[in-house]
């Protein structure tokens, strides 16, 4: 292996590559920020605005109409650092490649954020200068924590009435428990926003008001008042760095002079190690502060070389951990993190972790054990595609026309049996029946649903066995509405939908045993299968595990897997109201067989009967999705809105106030939240707003269980 991880043919070496995501709460200004980044880096020559439906990364029709981001868009751009009055020579004047992914803020599209964070090296978390840390900001932050993604915080909308930079800094520290320190402090706020105080260089960056695009600015000396702010922030930053970085801590203890390059190098190390979050203030919409944010991305967020090697497992031996170092000269390993179909065909977005991939190469999928030849590789600029010959370690690109691949699959060089950790996705919380409007749409509908469920791991399609209806399930009403809209626009399928239904679950509250026997004798060859099993409770979120503890051949080896398959089929329909059973461990430990009459189907049926028998003894309960709701309302309407949440079986967890507004945090069953947007508008004369996201599953109160069972047509198992 070469000591230099870079191929001599790559345009940008790894140390000059940044893979970043823009992530935040809905309406914090992510897409506007991405648009400014594209403008200042020269990728677009006019700035598109979200409210005009002209943003580059919001290229789907639905995104333009609604002014929201639905799918994460990848753009590749380049950035040359600004001359910074010669104080610090880091990456200054060197052209860098920056791959940016603009992710959705709406909770219904949380899968897009999850899979993007899985393949990114760093992120810019955007916060609104008025609202601060909001519920979805906390969700995104947790997702970034899960994957250990280093972050810079950008406090946006500092031009808005009520914007307060220090309040947001406090929010980041208190609500997110983050060690946040300002490095670029806004000069002024609201309509007086003029520029930024560069805390480390101790200079003021003042943007020209006569230049509407914010491309011209002056770096000037600080006023005495600004100097005091900068000195205080600088001392706080250096103190925080001394606490988390050994190198600068030792310099401080030995009373050595600490220079600006020392501080920047220490801040880079601390940010990459997730010990400090640099905070930058500005306004993307008013074009103030984006260039210096880009400088901070280059200075403090990691290149692919700065992060730990990706961890995988050996496909043949899942106990064996495999490390995948970032190196162009190693065998190719990549992760398919997103599938998308458009007019060019089926695209597989992937991140290269090791090696190189060229047109004409063969890739191997260790999950399916199949190979595929690469016809086209493209680099994405939102919806503009550029063909490329080769992509290298650390790159994000897309392959056209790859077969047999799903989200989270590892792609490797032929015979390289490594499986990278796929992104994890939450289960759907809402479902509805769907049917084609005409007979001609029937076939097209199943094809469209299959494609959409391949693209979106939080979208599920299944058939209700009792009614024969096609059921679609997703993360919220908006999610399913957008998917139906996409079926119409992209696949020309018109559909009718039923009322949204809640994705209830069933689980057990005590351990139990069960026995299942299938004995059929009707002339000629009969059917015989016999399974004995025990079921046990497990902690929430553990899912279903099934194992065989059969000894002595009481069930022959060839019939154990069919019995396990029967158990896995049986958990899809619980005994209370026919909802899927979650969180239990099943052990098949005994049974019997017949030399002539036993077969796979008989043992599958015996497995189903045995599990149903055990469930009847295990005191099953019904679970419902509980939503974390945050309602923001003028204080005059606070009582009405709290009363309404209580009527919806809500539990109020806390009340804050900010700028004359009450912020009510509650947990409410999803079943009670249909039509809430109309109710909250009515109660507050249109002045209140709310957000909600799935929080957990909880037991359904007994009196409501009866109603649910009845609404399912009395599905309660009466056997």
Does residue 677 carry a pLDDT above 80?
Answer: no
Alpha-carbon distance of 538 to 542, in angstroms, equals 7
State pLDDT tens for residues 351-396. Answer: 899 999 999 899 998 888 888 889 888 887 655 678 889 999 888 8
Does residue 11 carry a pLDDT above 70?
Answer: yes
Provide the sign of the torsion angle of the four alpha carbons 608, 614, 616, 622, taken in this order: negative
Alpha-carbon distance of 203 to 188, in angstroms, equals 15
Same fold, 430-503 and 623-711: yes
Class of the CATH-defined domain 310-420: mainly beta
Percent of the chain residues topping a pLDDT of 90: 28
Question: For the structural domain made of 15-306, what CATH number should be given?
Answer: 3.40.50.300
Residue predicted with more confidence, 444 or 230: 230
State pLDDT tens for residues 62-82. Answer: 544 444 444 445 677 777 765
Output the average pLDDT for the chain: 82
- Our CA angle for 571, 574, 576, nearest 5°, is 165
The residue-averaged pLDDT of 513-530 equals 84
Instruction: Give the pLDDT of residue 57.
Output: 43
Alpha-carbon distance of 111 to 72, in angstroms, equals 10
Residue predicted with more confidence, 122 or 439: 122
Does residue 716 carry a pLDDT above 60?
Answer: no
The residue-averaged pLDDT of 630-643 equals 89
Alpha-carbon distance of 47 to 37, in angstroms, equals 10
- Residue 404: how many CB atoms within 10 A of its CB? 12
Class of the CATH-defined domain 623-711: alpha beta
Structural domain spans, the chain: 15-306, 310-420, 430-503, 506-618, 623-711
**Among candidate residues 141, 132, 29, 26, the one with its CA nearest the CA of residue 658:** 132
State pLDDT tens for residues 469-507. Answer: 788 888 777 778 888 888 887 778 888 888 777 888 999
Instruction: Give the pLDDT of residue 597.
Output: 85
pTM here? 0.69
Angle separating helix axes 600-617 and 557-570, nearest 10 degrees: 50
Does residue 218 carry a pLDDT above 50?
Answer: yes
Reduced to 3 states, what is the DSSP secondary structure of residue 265?
Answer: helix
In the sheet where 544-548 sits, what is the strand order? 512-520, 527-537, 584-592, 544-548
Does residue 49 carry a pLDDT above 50?
Answer: no
Residue predicted with more confidence, 203 or 689: 203
The residue-averaged pLDDT of 673-691 equals 81
State pLDDT tens for residues 278-332. Answer: 999 988 888 888 888 888 998 999 999 898 888 888 888 878 888 888 988 889 9
**DSSP states along 70-106:** -S-EEEEEEEEBPP-TTS--SSBT-EEEEEEEEPP-S
The two structure tokens encoding residue 226: 């600004």
State pLDDT tens for residues 379-389. Answer: 876 556 788 89
Percent of the chain residues topping a pLDDT of 70: 86
Class of the CATH-defined domain 506-618: alpha beta
The residue-averaged pLDDT of 429-447 equals 82
Alpha-carbon distance of 488 to 349, in angstroms, equals 24
- Lowest pLDDT segment from 25-39, 270-284, 648-662: 25-39
Instruction: Give the pLDDT of residue 213.
Output: 58
Exposed e or buried b for every residue in 270-284, given b needs 16+ CB within 10 A?
bbbebebbbbbbbbb
Alpha-carbon distance of 712 to 614, in angstroms, equals 23
Question: For the structural domain made of 430-503, what CATH number should be given?
Answer: 3.30.70.870
């Amino acid at each position: 292996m070469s000591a230099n991880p870079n191929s001599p043919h790559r345009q940008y070496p790894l140390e000059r590559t940044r893979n970043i995501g823009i992530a935040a709460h809905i309406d914090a200004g992510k897409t506007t920020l991405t648009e400014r980044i594209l403008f200042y880096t020269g990728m677009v020559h006019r700035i598109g605005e979200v409210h005009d439906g002209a943003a580059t990364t919001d290229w789907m029709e639905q995104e333009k109409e609604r002014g929201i981001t639905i799918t994460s868009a990848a753009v590749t751009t380049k950035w040359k650092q600004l001359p910074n009055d010669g104080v610090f020579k880091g990456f200054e004047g060197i052209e860098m490649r920056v791959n940016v992914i603009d992710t959705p803020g709406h909770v219904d599209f949380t899968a897009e954020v999850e899979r993007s964070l899985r393949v990114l090296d760093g992120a810019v978390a955007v916060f609104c200068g008025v609202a601060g840390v909001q519920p979805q900001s906390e969700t995104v932050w947790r997702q970034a924590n899960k994957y250990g993604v280093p972050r810079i915080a950008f406090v946006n909308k500092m031009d808005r009435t009520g914007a307060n930079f220090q309040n947001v800094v406090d929010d980041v520290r208190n609500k997110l428990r983050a060690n946040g320190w300002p490095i670029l402090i806004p000069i002024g706020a609201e309509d007086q926003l003029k520029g930024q105080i560069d805390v480390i260089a101790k200079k003021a960056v003042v943007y020209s008001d006569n230049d509407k695009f914010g491309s011209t600015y002056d770096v000037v000396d600080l006023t005495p008042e600004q100097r005091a702010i900068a000195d205080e922030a600088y001392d706080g930053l250096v103190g925080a760095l001394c606490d988390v970085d050994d190198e600068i801590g030792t310099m401080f203890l030995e009373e050595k002079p600490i220079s600006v390059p020392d501080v920047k190098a220490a801040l880079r190390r601390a940010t990459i190690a997730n010990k400090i979050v640099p905070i930058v203030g500005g306004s993307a919409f008013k074009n103030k502060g984006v260039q210096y944010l880009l400088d901070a991305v280059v200075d403090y967020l990691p290149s692919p070389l700065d992060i730990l090697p990706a961890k995988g497992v050996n496909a043949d031996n899942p106990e064996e951990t495999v490390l995948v170092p970032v190196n162009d000269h190693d065998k190719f390993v990549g992760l398919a993190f997103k599938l998308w179909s458009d007019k060019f065909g089926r695209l597989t977005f992937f991140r290269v972790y090791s090696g190189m991939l060229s047109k004409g190469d063969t890739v191997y999928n260790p999950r399916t054990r199949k190979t595929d030849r690469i016809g086209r590789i493209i680099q994405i600029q939102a919806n503009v595609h550029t063909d490329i010959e080769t992509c290298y370690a650390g790159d994000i690109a897309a392959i056209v026309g790859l077969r047999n691949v799903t989200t989270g699959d590892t792609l490797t060089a032929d015979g390289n049996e490594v499986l990278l950790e796929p992104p994890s996705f939450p289960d759907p919380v809402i479902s509805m029946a769907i049917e084609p409007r005409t007979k001609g749409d029937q076939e097209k509908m199943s094809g469209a649903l299959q494609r959409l469920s391949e693209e979106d791991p939080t979208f599920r399609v299944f058939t209700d066995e009792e009614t024969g209806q096609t059921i679609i399930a997703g993360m919220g009403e908006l999610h399913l509405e957008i998917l139906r809209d996409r079926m119409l626009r992209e696949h020309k399928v018109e559909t009718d939908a039923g009322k949204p239904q809640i994705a209830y679950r069933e689980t057990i509250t005590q351990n139990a045993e069960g026995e299942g026997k299938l004995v059929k004798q009707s002339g000629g060859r009969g059917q015989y299968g016999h399974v004995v099993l025990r079921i046990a409770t497990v902690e929430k979120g553990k899912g279903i595990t099934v194992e065989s503890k059969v000894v002595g051949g009481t069930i022959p080896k060839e019939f154990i897997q069919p019995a396990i398959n029967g158990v896995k089929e049986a958990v899809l329909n619980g005994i209370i109201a026919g909802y899927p059973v979650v969180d239990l461990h099943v052990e098949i430990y005994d049974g019997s067989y017949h030399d002539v009459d036993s077969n796979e189907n008989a043992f599958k049926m015996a497995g189903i009967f045995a599990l149903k028998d055990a469930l009847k003894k295990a005191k099953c309960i019904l679970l419902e999705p509980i939503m974390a709701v945050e309602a923001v309302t003028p204080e005059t309407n606070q009582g009405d809105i709290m009363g309404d949440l209580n009527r919806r079986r809500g539990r109020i967890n806390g009340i804050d106030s900010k700028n004359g507004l009450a912020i009510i945090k509650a947990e409410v069953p999803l079943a009670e939240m249909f039509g809430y947007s109309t109710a909250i508008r009515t109660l507050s004369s249109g002045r209140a707003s709310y957000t909600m996201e799935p929080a957990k599953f909880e037991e359904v109160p007994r009196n409501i269980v009866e109603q649910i069972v009845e609404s399912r047509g009395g599905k309660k198992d009466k056997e």
